[in-house]
Structure 1
């Protein structure tokens, strides 16, 4: 798991463009324009707290009734600008689509999740820095939750600085018996590590990793089997495989669950 790129243009302009381009009903549009001053202040507050990594302290404006309904109508997964935003957020600097959910790194992106829920904060229903690529499983588990009285419940992969040190580990007993676990061996900031633990726990990631591990193990088995036909000894083969997954680790991060699993299997001496 690692940080992902955030929308880089002006978020308020994105909101205004949707208001101007997608609403045909005069009364709805007039209602939205009437609240433009409050929306502008709310976006400035969001950006300020986002930049300070302090969204925990943000307060909802309190829009309700017709005001809330019209703000919520702005968001639709079928709206052209939202579809384009999803494409932009899941395309890397090499113009390649990275369509894996960043919250779990297991399933495919299905939609854009509102980090701060739109029902509580309708003013941010189309705020692009509040919209995060997400799979249907993570979206359903997260629901309207985002914080409790003490802390954020989920990592914000735009603004939280994801540690470069390893915190995800695999305890290997055998090729079919192993468990994923979180350990703060590198003394990551305790508050951040609590959020990491909450994120992994509420999205049930450790169990989901385990359930999806068979394919990873099968690929490793195949790589080793084929490699033994190409290398004349296991020492060279083991070095080749470790180098391969070290390259993958540079791309996907030190806490990518597939990399962590393979490296744990190789270090366990089950294969070599």
Structure 2
């Protein structure tokens, strides 16, 4: 998980811009009039979300009691890929260093090709296009999260706009040797984390999004990348094999302690059996 900066857009202006881009439907001649009326009718709900977001208590919000027609009209406003939402993603990129958010901030593995509704739009259609409720996400994490937003009155999933990762390590990785090849076995543990409520939130998120299973499945690419790095560094430095591994370990100490790549590479370089695996590849020049 990686915290990112939220979009810097006025919710009411964004809401109105989405409606202004709508056109009348031949099969529903009153559609445009109805959605235009939403500008005033939904204005207070947009303010309620923004206020709750500022106070970091969006779980306190309650769904609006509306009829099925209004719900359908609100849901119809969200079309991923439409220009207002492309503009929102561009704004997000600008807020986060001016470059594209290349990895899903929830898992850090897949491409964020969707927007997750943190408060699910099926429960809260009034927030279906609130900019602060739309979070870049990959289809895998979006599907797992589904409508999970609270558990017993507490936030169910880590909100990458509001929540901050702890400085202490909670993600760990053990190395297994299967058929003479290293394999990752990730796990989380909160014994180092001072904020136990935050760790409980992280633990719920890992469970809901099935992140451990995803990390284990995606670990082969990390192993391949480390092999390439070892090969590259072995050509540039006149070091013994163990000195090379220790040098790389020192480099990884400067990386975020809960970065999945860093955690697995550190585990590999600290493991005697995986070191022997890399030594054999170096000696045979198969690395």
TM norm structure 2: 0.85
Map 1:72-221 to 2 at 5 A.
72-90=75-93, 93-174=96-177, 176-221=182-227
1:57 maps to which residue?
60
Cα distance, 1:169 vs structure 2: 0.8
| Cα shift readout 1:68-121 (whole Å, capped 9, x = no counterpart) | 111111100131111221233245654321221111111111111111111111
2:228 maps to which residue?
222
Q: What secondary structure, in the 3-state scheme, does the structure 1 residue paired with 2:150 have?
A: coil
2:72 maps to which residue?
69
Shift of the 100–91 alpha-carbon distance from structure 1 to 2, 3 Å rule, reads: farther
- After TM superposition, the structure 1 stretch with the greater mean CA deviation from structure 2, 29-38 or 77-86, is 29-38
Q: Which stretches in structure 2 are left out of the alignment for 5+ residues? A: 277-287
- 1: CA distance between counterparts of 2:5 and 2:97? 13
Cα distance, 1:38 vs structure 2: 4.0
1:5 maps to which residue?
5
- 2: CA distance between counterparts of 1:243 and 1:263? 9
Map 1:39-54 to 2 at 5 A.
39-54=42-57
- 1: CA distance between counterparts of 2:13 and 2:23? 16
2:266 maps to which residue?
263
1:22 maps to which residue?
22
Shift of the 262–50 alpha-carbon distance from structure 1 to 2, 3 Å rule, reads: same
- 2: CA distance between counterparts of 1:238 and 1:227? 10
- After TM superposition, the structure 1 stretch with the greater mean CA deviation from structure 2, 186-195 or 203-212, is 186-195
- 1: CA distance between counterparts of 2:90 and 2:111? 13
Backbone CA RMSD of aligned residues = 2.2
Q: What secondary structure, in the 3-state scheme, does the structure 2 residue paired with 1:22 have?
A: coil
- 2: CA distance between counterparts of 1:131 and 1:138? 14
2:252 maps to which residue?
245
Aligned residues: 268
Cα distance, 1:37 vs structure 2: 3.9
- 2: CA distance between counterparts of 1:268 and 1:90? 38
Cα distance, 1:246 vs structure 2: 4.6
Indicate the structure (1 or 2) with the bigger Cα radius of gyration.
Answer: 2
Residue 37 (structure 2) aligned to one of 16, 34, 39: 34
Q: What secondary structure, in the 3-state scheme, does the structure 2 residue paired with 1:15 have?
A: helix
| Cα shift readout 1:14-45 (whole Å, capped 9, x = no counterpart) | 11111123243573333234344442211111
- 1: CA distance between counterparts of 2:194 and 2:24? 51
TM norm structure 1: 0.89
